[in-house]
Amino acid sequence: MRQFTPDRRGFIAATLAGGLTGGVSSRALAAAGTMAPGAVSSGAIATGPVEPSWNSLVANYRYPDWFRDAKFGIWSHWGPQSVPEQGDWYGRFMYMQGHPMYEHHLRTYGHPADTGMMEVQNKWTADKWDPEALMDRFVKAGAKYFVSLACHHDNLDCYDSAHHDWNSLRVGPRRDVVGTWEKVARKAGLKFGVSNHTSHAWHWYQPAYAYDPEGPRKGERYDAYRLSKADGKGKWWEGLDPQALYTGRYAVAPDGIDTIEAMNEWHDKNDGQWVETIPPGGEDFAREWLLRQIDLVTKYKPDFCYMDNHELPFGQYGLAAAADYYNRSIEWHGKIDVVLTGKQLKPHARFGLVQDVERGFTDHLWDEPWQTDTCIGDWFYNRARFTDKSYVPAEAVVQRLADVVSKNGNLLLSVPQRGDGTIDAEEEKILDDLARWFAVNGDAVYGSRPWHIYGEGPTELQVGMQNEGGFKGFGPGDVRFTTKDGALYMFVLARPEGALSVRSLGHRAMARAGKGRIERATMLGGGEVAMRQTGDATAFDIPQGALFVPVIRLEGRGLV
């Protein structure tokens, strides 16, 4: 790992001295041996009113209007794990004998004792990447903010990193991926964001230090275990230390495991859990994580930063990163005008971050803005999605969008790219279908706010993260509401057979909610919609041939 100078250690010592919830002031941190704000190469943290404590984050944070208005973003979850076109977590599973990705790696690249993830990273060419053309597609498909993956669990920084030599200027594309996306996104008029997943690299990569428990190369340790910086002499990675990439031997499988099942059980127990703590004896890893995060936000001034963490990683280090980001926003904008996300927020963290619900649902309208992130396929490109035609279609994306927006949330959608930077024909069709829908119905989304209820319908949603796999889809009778400029918008998630009857728009339900009467109904992109309002419900005749997920604009006195 990188050696840290005394001024960096003094800075962290002062940070840690504040404790998890109490914290110390930004000025005290700055006085602990660091240089002026902005001197990131010396470990400086931005000073300002926000301190590295949950109390201070909650007291100072305000949700930006731009985020509440944007509603829909597109994410380039793109890095070297796209190269094998096998889907998610290739850099871990390629080291687990018996896994399909291990078998693919054996056939395609060789044995992981000889050819490891570092070699795959260098095969990430991005040679057909056309960021301008892709951004044009994303804008037409409705995106109002764009997010670039900055560093995943594979521990490669996809940007001009000052504190980590394994980055995309020295490995793979030999270019600043995040910096390129940032310029193109801002030129297109979008807010720009980054995602940071690398705090989990230390436990995620431990299988790279293991070995085959069975077969002709049984017991032979993989590349991470045996390679050092000296081994790179005369090779493409000369000057790079593989241990800085693979993070170090924090949980190395012992000798003598002799079945695949036993090895998998060992990994599940020792390095397969989702942990947010500092690795054992790995304070330097946490220090470097913080410096890399500060460097990332300083260089690219992102409007949005996605943390792939439950709340924030590494205790006080994560709090220091959040305080630094918020104080820098005050320097840039005169106020906190950025979004920092976390998952599974507990009461003490609520309102200090924006909560992200990865690939999941909620069954109620939230008081505060939040976000769902999901993907039309796997997070990293999987060729099987194209050949099997198993992508999530545009109609299902819009249904999710309507459900999330009606509950005061945003939707961040990943569109996977191949290792060369392109997207496939099926993905292009989905984006084109989204473009057609937003061209007609965008007014019901952008700048909208929730109604007093999110909607109604027979579909019951399972609350939580990572539960999309069991979802069977929305059905007839499922509707969602938004409001804007005095009008009430109703999203018809699935076409009914016959008239659509909506109980929450009946006279009695409206009166109980203190709402007025509907006087006019029109379909966006169409004409008048026939309706019949009674005490129990309002029935609508949905025109045939309407675009998927049609939206009806309802007008009248006192509706919202």
**C-alpha span between 27 and 22 (Å, rounded):** 15
pLDDT digits (tens, 9 = 90+) for 99-120: 999 999 999 999 999 999 999 9
Is residue 30 over pLDDT 60? no
> Whose CA is closest to 420, among 130, 147, 146, 137?
130
pLDDT digits (tens, 9 = 90+) for 362-421: 999 999 999 999 999 999 999 999 999 999 999 999 999 999 999 999 999 999 999 999
Residue position matching structure tokens 């949950």: 54
Helix axis angle for 177-187 and 283-300, nearest 10°, is: 30
- Which of 2.60.120.10, 2.60.40.1180, 1.10.357.10, 3.40.50.1980 is the CATH number of 455-555? 2.60.40.1180
Beta-ladder partners of 75: 147, 414
When pLDDT is cut at 50, 70 and 90, the band that residue 545 belongs to is confident
**C-alpha span between 194 and 303 (Å, rounded):** 8
- For domain 6-80+121-202+278-444, the CATH architecture is Alpha-Beta Barrel (3.20)
Residue spans of the domains in the chain: they are 6-80+121-202+278-444, 455-555
Helix axis angle for 283-300 and 316-333, nearest 10°, is: 10
pLDDT digits (tens, 9 = 90+) for 250-306: 999 999 999 999 999 999 999 999 999 999 999 999 999 999 999 999 999 999 999
**What does the block give as tokens for 360?**
């999941």
**What does the block give as tokens for 246?**
């693979």
pLDDT digits (tens, 9 = 90+) for 463-508: 999 999 889 999 999 999 999 999 999 999 999 989 999 999 999 9
Identical fold for domains 6-80+121-202+278-444 and 455-555, yes or no, is no
Say what the pTM is: 0.93
Number of residues that make up the chain: 560
